[in-house]
Structure 1
Amino acid sequence: MTAPLPRITNRKRWLILSHAFNMDGRAASQTITDKIPYFLQAGVKPTVFSSITGIKDTRFPHYQFLAWGPAAFRFDFRHWFANQYGRGLPYKVVTTTVSILLAPFIALERILLGLSNQWSWAMPAYLHGKKLIQNKQVDLVYSTAGAWSAQLAALWLKKSTGVFWMTEIHDPLVIRNSPDDLGFVTPRNRDARFRKWLETQICKHADLAWWFTEGAVHYAKLRNPNLNEPGNAKGVMVIPGAEPPGAPEEINLVTQQVEQKQEQKRVEERAKEMQPHHYGIHLVISHFGSLAKNRSISTILNRLPMLFKNHPEARNAIQVHVYGAKVDSLTADAISQHGFADLVIEHGRIEKDPVTGKSGRERIAERMQASDVLLLLHGDDEWCAEYIPSKMYEYFWMGRPIWAITHRNPQMNALLAERNAYISAADDAASIDAALERIWLGWQQKNLMQLAWRPIGVDQAAQRILQLLESMQTAKAQ
């Protein structure tokens, strides 16, 4: 930790709105849940509102609400049932039945509103939150991550009660289509129009707002000039970071007494404890997280034939392991076209192991550390200029070589370059070919380019948020 955490002396009672709170392995959950121990240590007394999709927290009041709309209800119910009973035959039968029953209502919801599924969770969050605020039980509302319904509920609470509101924007609300598109044009899509309106409202009414990348802050300020006013704390960047493997248990111990020297010692010891990597008979390139047409394994699969032409022996040695998602359609086409069914290995979601008790997050960390190379796909859309995958910060803790295929994001490239990662451009086939060959030759020589040990923890994000609050309080007192 770079410095001791500020102690909260005012506005201690936080109402945290997070739809995905305590969902195992979800970035939208980890963004907030990993900060909680640091906030507790600083004297925050949280109350959390979330959906029913995660595990109920026992450290503080945690209320889980069903969304009121049919589409959100279907989504939430699926995750709740899986948490309670697993994903076996009962899950398939029950969730299919619920989906069939809700189908006409979901269709009607989409026709009438055209908003993304989770919008309706804002309604119970708002009503229950307003009651707490009116009963003088809340000093501050903190909306965060994932579904924008949390931001919508917070906006309603701000307008109706005047409560202090701080918010973090996980992903950009306005999706631009090209470098020339600054996001000023009103979108045709109703959900996109609503998100554009919501961004404007956040920038106007929030007391404190931050984004996760320099690019996101830059474009938000272009669209919302009030963010550029001197002393304005609305338009700031906070790097989210990530916690190391086993974070929940370790951080709970650390929260008893965190000092700078102790934290530095913990990081150094973790680096020393990492075992030398074992090179097996296969070069294992692993990808973790969601896939889509704009973030596809096909990006490298379509370049492998060139590598195999120059290095035929690589065909039977390289494996690409896919965790956390089904392959996208472009990847499926590439597998079929090139005959790579034996080369791409799908593992699906890695969840809690009932035998060992290990969480999905812990099991994923083990798979990451056993990989030869961690693949980080950024995507190829314009919004990549405003987005950094949260997986990158997890990768930094693993001590394994990273191969990142990025698009138009100097901040992301700089963070990767500082840590000695392999970097390719998504729109540059030659750079992908070059990286593939370097990785192949490095693996053959058992000398892959090692990642520089410079992880970014969540402690710095929590500290930054607390410092912003402290500085605002000081300025107000003056």
Structure 2
Amino acid sequence: MSAQPPVVGSKKRWLILSHGFNMDGRASSQTITDKIPYFLEAGIEPIIFSAITGMKDQRFPHHQYLAWGPAAFRFDFRHWIANQYGRGFIYKLLTRTVSILLAPLIGLEKLVLGYSSQWSWAMPAFIHGLKLFRAGKIDLIYSTGGAWSAHLAGLWLKKVTGLPLIVEVHDPLVIRKSPNDQGFSKPENRDAQFRQQLEMRICKTADLVWWFTDGALHYVKVRNSNLNTANNAHGFMLLPGAEPPGGLTAIKPHSYSGNLNLCHFGSLANDRSLSIILQALVPLITKYPEAKDLIRVHAYGAPLDSLTIDAVKTLGFEKILQAYGRLEKDPVTGKSGRERVIEKMQSADVLILLHGNDEWCAEYIPSKFYEYLWTGRPIWGITHRNTQLDEMLEDRGAYLSHEGDKVGIAMALERIWFDWNAKELIQPKWAPIGVDQAAYKILSEIQENI
């Protein structure tokens, strides 16, 4: 890691377009907000444009704008109300009322355009960004997402102003369907069609653009041979890393309790489901019946997916699976969602990392992985077609399984059971990946290429 931030020269006034900036616990927010202290250290003077969904930052100019489309307005309004009043009666009353009133307009928007809800935030971001340019207040445009509306606004501003544009693509814009699919074919979905075109425009128009995995960069290069050629974008791979979550400063010594606690943090879906863990419990409990009373699976951060709900009911695992939903700021203790999450992470015996089963896993690493690395707790990764992620897990010491390998997953769970009983769970190598390396890499690339 760099001890000193690179010198950025004259391009210090950055307009940062980030739809979800300062949304507590959101990966799309943390990816940019965690870099800000390092940018400030390097002398960057940021101006932030975001939606109204996060908390307003007081360290620098931070402008929050409502999206102009009805679907995005509903999304933003829900989060704004939650920030103001919590998720109690007022939240339910107002959000349901707004949803009913906007339903016809949302239906029309989907019928006519068919884009994802946040697309219309690009319009106020562009208009207000243009005003800043005309006032001579910005030297560089930085779009990050998350929501692709930030990239769209960045491209519009680049075309009109000619300012340097740097782009941070979180998740692949083009979602491939199989290992043989390179992403060239025209998608049926209109939002996917637009994202395919957006990727092409970014590779042609931006000055710098980066992705978060080797796989994502590989497939983008296959589709866009102009990347890294004269008069086109310079593209590279950047590990986003994570700051010590919740202000973590040291590894908390682990103590074994009367239960084996397997903990999952983050979103769940039918393609990333805890049902595979529950199914792997069946042969284990058959061999060791006492495991049913001693193993607990804890789910934090999201509602349960339908496959997990069905598995709990079918297998009779109501006591085994305990779901807590999203951890947000505690008004009593004042602890943020991130602080509460890290406490739960450190209390785990093993942290579950579910990768998913879609082809896009080859281009994606769950953001929770980087937070997990700070806890010093063993990770059980169930991955899919991603050698980069497998290598990082193996290098640090982890339990590793592969999606679809039911026998392998059951064997990994049995090994965890044996290790826990012997009080010899894997002691992972302390090798977290911080955000400073990502921020300094961006600054170096700007220095060299812009």
TM-score (norm: length of structure 1)? 0.93
- Unpaired runs of 5+ residues, structure 2, are none
Question: Counterparts of 1:186-225 in structure 2 under 5 Å?
Answer: 186-225=186-225
Match of 2:149 in 1: 149
| Alpha-carbon distance change, 233 to 415 in structure 1, aligned in 2, over 3 angstroms | farther
Q: How far off its partner does 1:233 sit? A: 5.8
Deviation track 1:292-351 (CA, whole Å, cap 9, x = no partner) reads 111000111111101111111111111111111111011111111101111110101100
1 CA distance for matches of 2:154 and 2:231?
Answer: 23
Q: How far off its partner does 1:445 sit? A: 1.0
Q: How far off its partner does 1:229 sit? A: 2.8
**Aligned residues between the structures:** 450
Match of 1:319 in 2: 296
Identity %: 62
2 CA distance for matches of 1:159 and 1:228?
Answer: 19
Deviation track 1:118-144 (CA, whole Å, cap 9, x = no partner) reads 000000000000111122111000000
| Cα pair 1:403 1:421 within 8 Å, conserved | yes
Instruction: Name the SS for the 1:286 alignment partner.
Output: strand
Match of 2:430 in 1: 453
Match of 1:358 in 2: 335
Question: Counterparts of 1:91-102 in structure 2 under 5 Å?
Answer: 91-102=91-102
Matched to 1:204, the amino acid is K
2 CA distance for matches of 1:157 and 1:60?
Answer: 21
1 CA distance for matches of 2:202 and 2:170?
Answer: 13
- Which consecutive segments of 4 or more residues in structure 1 shift more than 6 A? none
Deviation track 1:52-104 (CA, whole Å, cap 9, x = no partner) reads 00000000000000011110000100000000111111111111111111111
Within the candidate set 261, 269, 281, 2:258 is matched to 281
Match of 2:116 in 1: 116
| Cα pair 2:143 2:167 within 8 Å, conserved | yes
Question: Counterparts of 1:401-416 in structure 2 under 5 Å?
Answer: 401-416=378-393
Match of 1:129 in 2: 129
- Unpaired runs of 5+ residues, structure 1, are 251-269, 474-478
Which has the larger displacement, 40-49 or 2-11?
Answer: 2-11
| Cα pair 2:210 2:236 within 8 Å, conserved | yes
Instruction: Name the SS for the 1:302 alignment partner.
Output: helix
Match of 1:346 in 2: 323
Which has the larger displacement, 130-139 or 108-117?
Answer: 130-139
| Cα pair 1:233 1:468 within 8 Å, conserved | no
The answer to whether residue 409 in structure 2 is matched with residue 428 in structure 1 is: no
1 CA distance for matches of 2:367 and 2:176?
Answer: 20
2 CA distance for matches of 1:231 and 1:71?
Answer: 37
1 CA distance for matches of 2:91 and 2:233?
Answer: 46
1 CA distance for matches of 2:232 and 2:283?
Answer: 52
Q: How far off its partner does 1:379 sit? A: 0.2
Match of 2:286 in 1: 309
Within the candidate set 364, 374, 395, 1:397 is matched to 374
Instruction: Name the SS for the 1:325 alignment partner.
Output: coil
Match of 1:8 in 2: 8
Matched to 1:386, the amino acid is E
Deviation track 1:400-429 (CA, whole Å, cap 9, x = no partner) reads 010000000000001111110111000111
2 CA distance for matches of 1:211 and 1:232?
Answer: 16
Matched to 2:161, the amino acid is T
| Alpha-carbon distance change, 231 to 6 in structure 1, aligned in 2, over 3 angstroms | farther
| Cα pair 1:405 1:426 within 8 Å, conserved | yes
| Cα pair 1:287 1:375 within 8 Å, conserved | yes
The answer to whether residue 445 in structure 2 is matched with residue 465 in structure 1 is: no
Instruction: Name the SS for the 1:291 alignment partner.
Output: coil
2 CA distance for matches of 1:201 and 1:472?
Answer: 19
Within the candidate set 369, 375, 381, 2:352 is matched to 375
2 CA distance for matches of 1:460 and 1:10?
Answer: 22
The answer to whether residue 421 in structure 2 is matched with residue 444 in structure 1 is: yes
2 CA distance for matches of 1:230 and 1:14?
Answer: 24
2 CA distance for matches of 1:157 and 1:2?
Answer: 32
Match of 1:291 in 2: 268
1 CA distance for matches of 2:2 and 2:8?
Answer: 18
| Cα pair 2:354 2:383 within 8 Å, conserved | yes
The answer to whether residue 308 in structure 2 is matched with residue 331 in structure 1 is: yes
Q: How far off its partner does 1:228 sit? A: 4.4
Matched to 1:48, the amino acid is I
| Cα pair 2:206 2:233 within 8 Å, conserved | no
Matched to 2:432, the amino acid is P
Q: How far off its partner does 1:274 sit? A: 2.8
Deviation track 1:7-27 (CA, whole Å, cap 9, x = no partner) reads 222210000000000000000
1 CA distance for matches of 2:376 and 2:90?
Answer: 40
TM-score (norm: length of structure 2)? 0.98
